[in-house]
Structure 1
Amino acid sequence: MLDGGFDLITILRITVDIALIWYVLYKLMMLVRGTKAVQLLKGIAVILTIWLLSIAFNLQTVRFFTNQFIEWGIIVIIILFQPELRRALEQLGRGSIFTRSAKSKEKLEDQIEAIVSSCTYMAKRRIGALISIEKETGIGDYAETGIPINGKLSHQLLTNIFTPNTPLHDGAVIIKKGKIIAAACYLPLSESPFISKELGTRHRAAMGISEVTDALTIVVSEETGAISCTVNGKLHRDLEEEALTEMLREHLSLHPTTSEKPGKKRGAKQNG
C-alpha cells in the first residue's frame, strides 16, 4: 500500500514535470513562430541531427565540431533569442501569460472600438486599408520592413495613416499591444490558388500573413468599401460593423456582447 502510494505520487510528479516543460516550450514556440528565430531553430535541429549521425557512424571530426556547438549552444541561443526571451519574461512578470486583468480587457475594448470605427469610416469613403494585429506569434520581422510609428492606437491616427496621397498610406499597419508600431509594412503574399481572382494585393497579403502567423488582419477594399478579415488562413468577407466587432472580440480574447448596435451592410463582392 505504501509502495502503491509512492508510485502514484511519483507518477503525478513526473506528469506535472513533463507538462510544465511542454507548456514552456509551447509558449516559446508561439513567441518565435513567424519570426527569423524559426529559421535559427531549424538550423539547430539540423546540427543536432548531424551530431546524432556522427555518433551512429563514428565520425570523429564531425562529432568534435558538433560537440563544440552544443557546449556553447545555450549561450548562443540566449544571445540570438534575446528579444523573444525578454518578451516572455516581461509577460510572465506581468502575469499576462496566465491571466488577463479586467483593466487590460477594458483597454482591449477601447482598442477594438478604435479599429472598428476607423474601418467603418474608411469603408464609407472607400479608403483602402490593411491592418494586421499581432497575437501570440511575433510579427516584428514584418514591422521592420515599414516605418516605425510606436504611437498609441486611436481612430484618428489609424485613419490618417491610410488617407490617400500621404507617405504612409501604402502597405500595412501593424498593431501590437494597443500601439501602432509601424506603417507602410510589407506582408508576405499568399500563393494559394484558391483565392478568388477578383481579390487584389491587399487580400493576398492578408491571407499570406494569416498562413504563417496567428495575426488577425483586416482589409478595407478601395474599390467597393467592403471589409474583410483573415485569421488562421481563412478569409471572412463582407463583414458588417457588428460582425467585425465580434470577430475582434473573439480572436483577441474578449467575448462578444449583445449591446452592440446593428452594423451596416457591406457590398456582396470586393476587389483588392
Structure 2
Amino acid sequence: MNQFTRFLDGDRLSRLFTIPKVNMTDIIEIIIISFIIYHLIKLIKDTRAWMLFKGIIVLFLVATIASVFRLNTILWIFANTINVGIIAILIVFQPELRRALEQLGQRNFLASIVQFEDQKDKGERFSNFTIDELIKAVYELAGTKTGALIVVEQDIKLTEYERTGIPVDAVVTSQILMNIFEHNTPLHDGAIIIRNNRIVAATCYLPLSDNMKLSKELGTRHRAALGISEVSDSITIIVSEETGKVSISIGGNLIRNVNGEYLKNKLQYIQKKSIDVKKFKLWKGRQKNEKSTN
C-alpha cells in the first residue's frame, strides 16, 4: 500500500513538471495577448495611470498572499468590492481607455494589418506653395515673438475641434497667417486648423495634455499642441510668445527649437505620405518609422 501511495505521488509529481502540449492555436493566442498587453503598458507608461496600475498590482499581490495564508477577512473584503472596483477602474482610466480606442481606430494602425480596395492613391496632401507659405509665416511670427498655434490635419479628421472655432475657409498664405495671429485681432487667440491647402477654422480650442513630464516652463499653447497630437495624427506647429522659438508636436512627442529645414522636411514627409493600393492585401510590410526626438 505504501509503495502504491509512493507511485501515485511520483506520478503526480511527474505530471506537475510535464511540459504541456502546445499547438499553433496556443501560439497565436500568446502572440495576440502579448501584443495587447505590450501596447496597453506602452500607452499608460508615461501617464498618471501608470502609478495607479502599479497600485492595482500591489492589491492583487495582497489578495494572493491572503489566499495562500487563508486570511478570510481580507478575502471577504476583496470578494465584496471587486465589482465596485472594476467600475472604479473604468472611471479612473477613462482618458487612457478613450485614447486607446482612438488609436485602435486610426487608419494608419489598421492599414498596417489590412488593406482595402477602396483606398486609392490620394496623391499629395497639400502643395509645395502651402509648405513655403506656412514656413515663411511661422518664422516671421517667431521673429516678432508673436505666439501661434497651427494644426495641420492628416488622416484623422479634426471636425470636433474645428466646430469650437470660427470658420475661415481661406487659402494658406503667409499674409493671412500673420494677420490671424497679430495681437489684438479677433482671431489671434486659440489654434487654426489647416486641411489640405486651406485654413478651415481659427480660434479653435484643443485638448490639454495631462503629461506630467512636460516642462513647467512651457505654457498652455505647448500643452494644447501636445494634447491634440495625443488624440490624432496631426502635426502641430507652435511659436512661443515668450522666446520666439518654434516647436512641433506629433505623435505625443514635443520637438522643441526646430529650424526651417527640419520643419520643411516634416511637412514634406506628411505631404507625400499617401496611400497607393490597387487591390486588397491581407498584410502590408511595416514602414520604417522616423526616430522621434524628445
TM-score by length of 2: 0.51
Task: Provide the rounded CA distance (Å) in 2 between the counterparts of 1:96 and 1:135.
Answer: 18
181, 198, 206: which one pairs with 1:179?
198
Query: Where does residue 242 of structure 2 map in the other structure?
Result: 223
Task: Provide the rounded CA distance (Å) in 2 between the counterparts of 1:178 and 1:96.
Answer: 24
1:58-97 equivalences under 5 Å are 97=119
224, 231, 238: which one pairs with 1:212?
231
- The two structures, once aligned, show a CA RMSD in angstroms of 1.9
Deviation of 1:247 (Å): 1.2
Distance 1:121 1:254, change over 3 A: farther
Deviation of 1:243 (Å): 0.9
Task: Provide the rounded CA distance (Å) in 1 between the counterparts of 2:186 and 2:231.
Answer: 28
1:142 aligns with 2:164: no
Deviation of 1:153 (Å): 1.1
Query: Where does residue 165 of structure 1 map in the other structure?
Result: 184
Task: Provide the rounded CA distance (Å) in 2 between the counterparts of 1:117 and 1:97.
Answer: 33
Distance 1:196 1:253, change over 3 A: same
Q: Letter of the aligned partner of 2:120 in structure 1?
A: F
Q: When the two structures are aligned, how many residues end up with a matched partner?
A: 158
Task: Provide the rounded CA distance (Å) in 1 between the counterparts of 2:162 and 2:122.
Answer: 25
Query: Where does residue 121 of structure 2 map in the other structure?
Result: 99
Identity of aligned residues (%): 43
Deviation of 1:174 (Å): 0.5
Distance 1:115 1:194, change over 3 A: same
Q: Letter of the aligned partner of 1:143 in structure 2?
A: E
Task: Provide the rounded CA distance (Å) in 1 between the counterparts of 2:161 and 2:273.
Answer: 26
Summarize deviations over 1:184-228 as a string: whole Å, max 9, x none: 000000011011100000000000000000011000000111000
Q: Greater relative contact order: 1 or 2 (C-alpha under 8 angstroms, separation 6 or more)?
A: 2
Distance 1:125 1:148, change over 3 A: same
Q: Letter of the aligned partner of 1:98 in structure 2?
A: K
TM-score by length of 1: 0.55
Task: Provide the rounded CA distance (Å) in 2 between the counterparts of 1:157 and 1:141.
Answer: 23
Query: Where does residue 248 of structure 1 map in the other structure?
Result: 267
Deviation of 1:108 (Å): 1.9
Summarize deviations over 1:106-133 as a string: whole Å, max 9, x none: x521111111000010001100000001
Distance 1:180 1:145, change over 3 A: same
Query: Where does residue 54 of structure 1 map in the other structure?
Result: none
Query: Where does residue 233 of structure 1 map in the other structure?
Result: 252
Post-superposition, which runs of at least 4 consecutive aligned residues in structure 1 deviate over 4 A? Answer: none
Max radius of gyration: which structure? 2
Q: Letter of the aligned partner of 1:205 in structure 2?
A: A
Task: Provide the rounded CA distance (Å) in 2 between the counterparts of 1:246 and 1:96.
Answer: 29
1:34-53 equivalences under 5 Å are none
- SS across alignment from 1:127: coil
Query: Where does residue 115 of structure 1 map in the other structure?
Result: 134
Task: Provide the rounded CA distance (Å) in 2 between the counterparts of 1:234 and 1:96.
Answer: 31
Distance 1:228 1:96, change over 3 A: farther
150, 163, 171: which one pairs with 1:152?
171
Query: Where does residue 127 of structure 1 map in the other structure?
Result: 146
Task: Provide the rounded CA distance (Å) in 2 between the counterparts of 1:171 and 1:183.
Answer: 7
